[in-house]
Amino acid sequence: MWSIWTFAFGYFAAYVPYAAMTKAISSGMLEPAIPRMSGTAMLPLTIATSTLGMVLFLGLSGLWRHARRFQLGPWSLPRPSLPTLLSGLGTAAIIATTTLAYTFDMSIVFAQLLMRGGVLIVAPVVDLMGQRKVRWFSWVGFGFSVLAVIIPFLKDAQISLPAMAALNFFLYIMAYFVRLRLMTRFGKSSEDNAQVRYFVEEQLVATPAILLVIAGLSFLPGQFGQELSGGFAMMGQWDTLAVQAPTLLLLAAIGVCSQGTGIFGGMVLLDKSENTYAVPVNRASSVLAGVIAAGGLAYVYGNSMDLYELGGAAAIMAAIVVLSLAPMIEKRRAAAALLRAG
């Protein structure tokens, strides 16, 4: 049986290259070999690659068989339920807003702490609304995680965000709120294979949905539509493939890693433990990955890292220690009590 920490490691391993590559190409660190690109222009190819990765993963693993079915002539095809459809749409919003978050003029770690902090605050609210018991070590881990978000603001309480960045973070947190509410009610039930079915159906919706949305938005007038349209055009410009190959390969790699975070991150959140436990495990893994990614870029390009942001990361590490060790200690104490009683 795979544990939540196994999935957390997979999430971490996929997140490090995802965050590092996205920041590197959007900030122009790779010029002149790979030109600087806006987050909007990056979306078409990264999302298309994620969609392909999702289809291959579910197909080759055989997990698609766990989804509900509908009959279309002679074919029996997988389909989502209404809850997994809505959760998949929330996941689609998370995919897009996460990629965009790393293209704003701020560090990887700071963007991580803002996104993760908002979701950490939402987690116990969702548990309380769903009347789920929250264990003591989950509250302690939650407290450390919130502290991680507060620490960077101790340096400068007047930190302000561009309007687009603030809107992006708001949409990200609201999408997670919807997703966690639906997961808690329908994905963490005691029904056999409920977690796997929920995961598969959500995956069937998420990346295809955001791909369709950005395809439609690419027809909008103005810079936003033009950048999306340019991103799609890159995939069809075969005459310049040799010139664009490094850029296309890097964007494809970002899409693959993004899908990896979706697979492993989704399984962490679907763990049957309370959200106040599962969400900090998920968030801590990604923040730690963000620190590693930022540290790698700083080492390669000779930049420095903010000590306050590293302080926030240290608080996240404390959350990881509490959330990993406390349940094991509690389990051993319960086993010892049973032996004494016997």
pLDDT in tens, 107-132: 888 887 788 777 877 878 788 887 77
CB 97 within 8 A of CB 22: no
Question: What stretch of H or E contains 302?
Answer: none
Assigned domain for 342 exists: no
DSSP type of residue 271: S
Six-digit token pair at 310? 């590293």
> For position 304, what pLDDT does the model report?
75
**Angle at the Cα of 265 from the Cα atoms of 250 and 24, rounded to 5 degrees:** 25
Residue 335, Cβ neighbours under 10 Å: how many?
Answer: 10
**Sign, CA torsion 89/93/96/98:** negative
Cα separations in angstroms, 218 against 68, 125, 211: 32, 36, 11
Six-digit token pair at 258? 């993004």
Distance between CA atoms of residues 320 and 288, nearest Å: 10
What's the number of CA atoms in the CB half-sphere (13 Å) around residue 140? 14
Output the pTM of the full model: 0.81
CB 278 within 8 A of CB 138: no
The owner of tokens 């104490």 is: 333
Distance between CA atoms of residues 273 and 310, nearest Å: 29
Taking the chain, what is the end-to-end CA distance rounded to the nearest angstrom?
28
> For position 93, what pLDDT does the model report?
92
Six-digit token pair at 170? 């708001």
> For position 100, what pLDDT does the model report?
87
Nearest to 165 by CA among 118, 212, 220, 228: 118
- Model confidence at 238: pLDDT above 60: no
- Model confidence at 2: pLDDT above 70: no
Average pLDDT of every residue of the chain: 85
Assigned domain for 148 exists: yes
Distance between CA atoms of residues 303 and 322, nearest Å: 32
Query: 237-252 burial, b if ≥16 CB within 10 A, otherwise e?
Result: eeeeeeebeebbebbb
% of the chain residues with pLDDT over 70:
95
Nearest to 235 by CA among 219, 251, 222: 251
For residue 324, the enclosing domain spans 4-337
Assigned domain for 248 exists: yes
- Rounded to 10°, the helix 241-269/223-234 angle is 110
pLDDT in tens, 19-68: 999 999 988 888 888 888 888 899 999 999 999 999 999 999 998 888 99
Distance between CA atoms of residues 244 and 266, nearest Å: 33
What's the number of CA atoms in the CB half-sphere (13 Å) around residue 246? 10
Per mean pLDDT, which range of 61-70, 83-92, 156-165 is the poorest? 156-165
Distance between CA atoms of residues 208 and 330, nearest Å: 42
Nearest to 275 by CA among 95, 90, 130: 130
Query: Would residue 58 be called left, alpha or beta, if left means φ above 0 and alpha means ψ between -120 and 50 degrees?
Result: alpha
Distance between CA atoms of residues 233 and 228, nearest Å: 9
Distance between CA atoms of residues 252 and 249, nearest Å: 5
Assigned domain for 28 exists: yes
- Considering its fold, how many domains does the chain have in total? 1
> For position 157, what pLDDT does the model report?
57
